[in-house]
Amino acid sequence: MLCVALLTTAPATRALEQLDLPDIGNPSGNVLSPAEEKRLGRAFMRSIRNSMSVIQDPLLSAYIQSLGEQLISASEDAVGSYEFFMIDSPQVNAFAGPGGHIGVYSGLVITTESESELASVIAHEVAHVTQKHLVRTYDAVNSMSLPAAAVAIAAVIIGAATNNPDVGMAAATGVQAGMLQRQINFTRSHEEEADAIGIRTLANAGFDPTSMPVFFSRMGKASRLYDNGELPEFLRTHPVTSNRIADAYGRAEAFPYRQRRDSLAYHLARERLRVKAFNDASEGIQFYSKALNDGRYRNEEAHKYGYTLALILGREFDQARKMIDGLLADRPEQIEYIVAKAELEKLSGQSAAGAELLRQGLDQHPGNYPLAIYYAQALLDLGRPKEVKKILEPQLTGRPDDTLLYKLLAQASGDAGNKTSGHQYLAEYYYHSGALRPAAMQLEIALKDRTLSYYESARMAARLKEIRTEERDLKARDN
């Protein structure tokens, strides 16, 4: 299955059986070219963004991408670019989609007890991609267009992730009822292969190779606490057997034991997610205050960071300032702390001071994605939109599908008086968010600008044609 599901669940399988998916390549790569698979992956992400709560927090996005890239660099089989992203959900889960797009649920990050455990799940997913486990038989008669296929694949993941196949099918309304029903699920051999290759990748990347069986074992013990059939999502989609745990331990023992210290970035990301999960700021303040007083924490510095974020949200600025100044005194270049201090300054009425902190941080870390985003937002708040373009446009080179970049560039262009450019950026924001009709409408508006050069007009018209073609493909699937 496309979800992380180490063994496919029955509800997800039923959802899969209702969808006829085209082949997305075979091991020799002779059905879809790398370029076509990349197109499918990008279309898949547009559908995911349109249907799931993809986290757009720049710090969290940067962390999970960095962790994923460490594993990709250590993989013996990974080629091309990969995108790692987080889904805002308490579920303990992850999934691999076409084109190297790997989603990680926030609940998984918080539940793991070490960075190696988190890396083990991601390494498993990377292995599913590198070993072409998403490959299925091509049916030329009943094949879909790439955009329609992407929606169908995303629907499978949504149905499995929610443990409700009807939700997934609702996301893929219009799939022809007469299509051949076909099941897509990872076989036991696929899972064993992903375990073995994932453990090897962990070891190559310097993580603890035993973290995978340790995590499996912990989840297996947790399953004994549930005897009413209402297992947590991870336990429904990740049945853990004693044989599987034993096999994973056996494979891990082939590598030298390595005790890896968790990165500070891992601990800070977990606390940032934890703060977001509290119902209100006072709940978070109480939690962190008590934990720090009692000495109940895994990483004291990260807990102080979480406490700072909760204090800022609760508008207890004086106490928050003491905490963040203490953290910055020890690590003045820590990006998470610079961003937190800037947010504190902004909310306490010192927006210019906050923007200056971000500018200085960007000078220290040229091209840093989170700092660029937060500085751009600060400039927009200060009414300085003309400075935003030169900060954000270079980011598009490495993040051509980033909806947040397009949204901010659209606002900056509009605020600076360049309405046509604003419509273009807004069109890309809608497009990459999976909203094709609004994207086309924005380009139609932009093309009415009589001052456009021939080249600009032709380029924009070609882009509009691409979007309309994709929109027609999806409508044809629905009819």
Catalytic residues: 125, 195
Residue with tokens 């949504």: 158
For residue 212, give the nearest of 186, 228, 194, 229 by alpha carbon: 194
124 is in an annotated binding site: yes
435-449: b (≥16 Cβ within 10 Å) or e: bbeebbbbbebbbee
Nearest CA to 121 out of 48, 60, 198 is that of 198
Residue of 143, 213, 215 whose CA lies nearest to 175: 143
For residue 144, the 8-state DSSP code is P
Contact 257, 210 (CB under 8 A): yes
Which neighbouring-strand residues pair with 150?
A: none
Tell whether 101 is in a known binding site: no
Task: Find the Cα–Cα–Cα–Cα dihedral 239, 245, 251, 253, rounded to 10°.
Answer: 150
- Distances in whole angstroms, Cα of residue 465 to Cα of each of 158, 203, 225, 455: 29, 47, 56, 15
Q: Is 351 exposed, middle or buried (0-12, 13-18, 19+ CB in 10 A)?
A: middle
CA-wise closest residue to 192 among 136, 234, 131, 237: 131
- Asked whether 343 and 275 are in contact (CB, 8 A), the reply is no
Q: Which of 86, 84, 118, 116 is nearest to 100 (CA)?
A: 84
d(CA 413, CA 418): 5
Q: Is there a binding annotation on residue 303?
A: no
AA identity, residue 412 = A
Beta strands in 27-150 (DSSP E): 83-87, 94-97, 101-105
> Rounded to whole angstroms, how far apart are CA atoms 155 and 142?
18
- For 88, the 3-state DSSP assignment is coil
- Binding-site positions: 124, 128, 191
- Binding-site positions for Zn(2+): 124, 128, 191
